[in-house]
């Protein structure tokens, strides 16, 4: 009988029982052979118990009436568990607004981009199972977005004040020039 195993994340096989004994399989190694509907663990297959436990099995003689070709084993799928916590709000909308605001409001500091980067990484951290880091990134995204909007508003107000001051000075100069000629 031929066996297939998962070794270093890759499917290996077909292997004979002699070839399996030269590999470092454990009782948790995924194994499949013809006749099995799903992948199993080597501890669940009696003829592999001795290999997984480190003892030598009796010699194996292959059955001469075995079919010439064996069907390919079913694809091994590692089941990923979903995080138990809901994904935190990534504050993407406010981060986009903050980025646009800092880029368009004469701001020399486009710090809205930092908020955008943090918000785009929240879901990646959550999917990776690092829920605490996802919450931290969400908070950072919100803080950077709010800070960016405040900076954009402050820079805009300074620009407006400068326009008013320079406008008054300019028009006052024009007024003086006009009336001093008369």
Tens digit of pLDDT at every position of the chain (182 positions): 788 888 777 788 788 877 877 777 777 788 888 778 788 787 777 777 666 555 444 454 555 444 445 566 666 665 555 556 788 888 888 888 888 887 777 666 677 888 888 888 888 888 888 888 889 999 998 998 888 888 888 888 888 898 888 888 887 787 777 777 65
The separation between CA 103 and the C-alpha centre of its own chain, rounded to angstroms, equals: 28
Question: So what's the pLDDT on residue 155?
Answer: 82
98 contacts 115 by C-beta, under 8 angstroms: yes
pLDDT of amino acid 64:
47
Report d(CA 115, CA 146) in Å as an integer.
9
Paired strand residues for 86: none
**pTM score above 0.85:** no
């Amino acid at each position: 009988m031929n066996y297939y195993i998962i070794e270093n994340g890759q499917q290996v096989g077909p292997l004979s029982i002699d070839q399996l004994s030269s590999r470092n399989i454990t009782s948790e190694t995924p194994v499949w052979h013809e006749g099995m509907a799903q992948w199993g663990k080597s501890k669940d297959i009696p003829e592999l118990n001795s290999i997984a436990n480190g003892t030598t099995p009796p010699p194996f003689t292959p059955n001469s009436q075995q079919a010439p070709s064996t069907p390919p084993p079913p694809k091994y799928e590692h089941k990923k568990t979903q995080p138990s916590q809901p994904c935190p709000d990534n504050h993407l909308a406010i981060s986009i607004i903050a980025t646009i605001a800092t880029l368009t409001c004469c701001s020399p500091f486009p710090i809205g981009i930092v908020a955008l980067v943090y918000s785009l990484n929240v879901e990646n951290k959550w999917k990776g199972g690092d829920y605490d880091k996802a919450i931290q990134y969400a908070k950072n995204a919100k803080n950077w977005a709010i800070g960016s909007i405040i900076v954009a508003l402050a820079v805009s107000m300074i620009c407006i004040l400068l326009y008013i001051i320079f406008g008054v000075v300019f028009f006052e100069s024009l007024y003086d020039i006009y009336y001093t000629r008369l």
